Amino acid sequence: MLLFISSIFYFSNNIILATTIDTKEVSSEFINNINNIFNSNEKIAYLTFDDGPSPSVTPKILDILKEENIKATFFVIGKKVEEYPEIVNRAYKEGHYIANHGYSHNNSILYKNVKSFIQEIQKTDLAIGNAIGVNAYSSHVFRFPNGFMSNVYKDKKNEYVKLLPNIDYTYIDWNALSELPTT
Ligand SMILES: [Zn+2]
């Protein structure tokens, strides 16, 4: 499994993704802030990590973040969360934001049909909630496996992205990578 760093250079003045939101209620302001993340004059880098948790990599990242007193956002894979809940719990307890990268990271499941797409997100939220001990957890932020911008399953993505507001969700892409994703 590859866990890569995407240091994202957003333009925003008031959105901090490393914020704890642990109810199903999400403010429209939160969603708006994310959707308008590129529209500010201020340059802020948000550090995000995808494809974990991984027992070999994530604890090392958490150690470094703790040492440097930096908060990050972890876009986790639901099935990995079920495998390593204690790592996700540690990240959450140390103040990082736990966001949604889908349950299986498998495009043929994610884009099978509408129901499957929604389930990929909701099963991941459930796994996160179980790991961190928060009832009905919703991260409200989804990152498409392989990115939204890529041409993979483009038509399906354009169709399904419209469903996200129905479940109080928005999505965010990366725009700078430490290395190219292979998964
Ligand atoms: Zn990924």
Mean pLDDT of the chain: 84
Q: Which pLDDT band holds residue 183 (cuts at 50, 70, 90)? A: low
Residue 18 is assigned to a structural domain of this protein: yes
Give just the sign of the alpha carbon dihedral 100, 19, 129, 25: negative
Whether residue 4 has pLDDT greater than 60: no
Asked whether residue 13 carries a pLDDT value surpassing 70, the answer given is no
Is residue 146 situated within a structural domain?
Answer: yes
Looking at per-residue confidence, does 26 or 96 come out higher?
Answer: 96
User: What's the start-to-end Cα distance of the chain, in Å?
Assistant: 8
> Per the domain annotation, does 177 fall within a domain?
no
Task: Judge whether 87 lies within some domain.
Answer: yes
Task: Give distance in angstroms: CA of 10 to centre of ligand 1.
Answer: 19
Q: Is residue 163 part of a domain?
A: yes
Asked whether residue 126 is domain-assigned, the answer is yes
Give me the number of domains the chain comprises: 1
Q: Is residue 182 part of a domain?
A: no
Measured from the Cβ of residue 96, the count of other Cβ atoms closer than 10 Å reads 25
Domain of residue 143, CATH code? 3.20.20.370
CA dist 31 and 141 (Å) reads 9
- Residue 74 tokens read as 């972890």
d(CA 63, CA 94): 10
67: CA distance to ligand 1 center in Å? 26
List the one residue out of 84, 73, 7, 89 whose CA is nearest residue 44.
7
Give the domain range for residue 10: 5-171
Amino acid at 52: G
Taking a C-beta distance cutoff of 8 angstroms, is the pair 110, 75 a contact?
A: no
Residues 6+ apart with CB under 8 A from 123: 78, 103
The 10s digit of each residue's pLDDT in 118-174 is: 999 999 999 999 999 999 999 999 999 999 988 999 999 999 999 999 999 999 987
Going from the Cα of 50 to the center of ligand 1, the distance in angstroms, rounded, reads 5
The whole-number pLDDT of residue 20 equals 42
179 lies in some domain: no
What's the 26 CA to ligand 1 centre distance in angstroms? 25
Buried b (16+ CB within 10 A) or exposed e, 33-71: bbeebeeeeeeeebbbbbbbbbeebbbebbeebeeeeee
Q: Which residues are within 5 Å of ligand 1 (an ion), measured at CB?
A: 50-51, 145
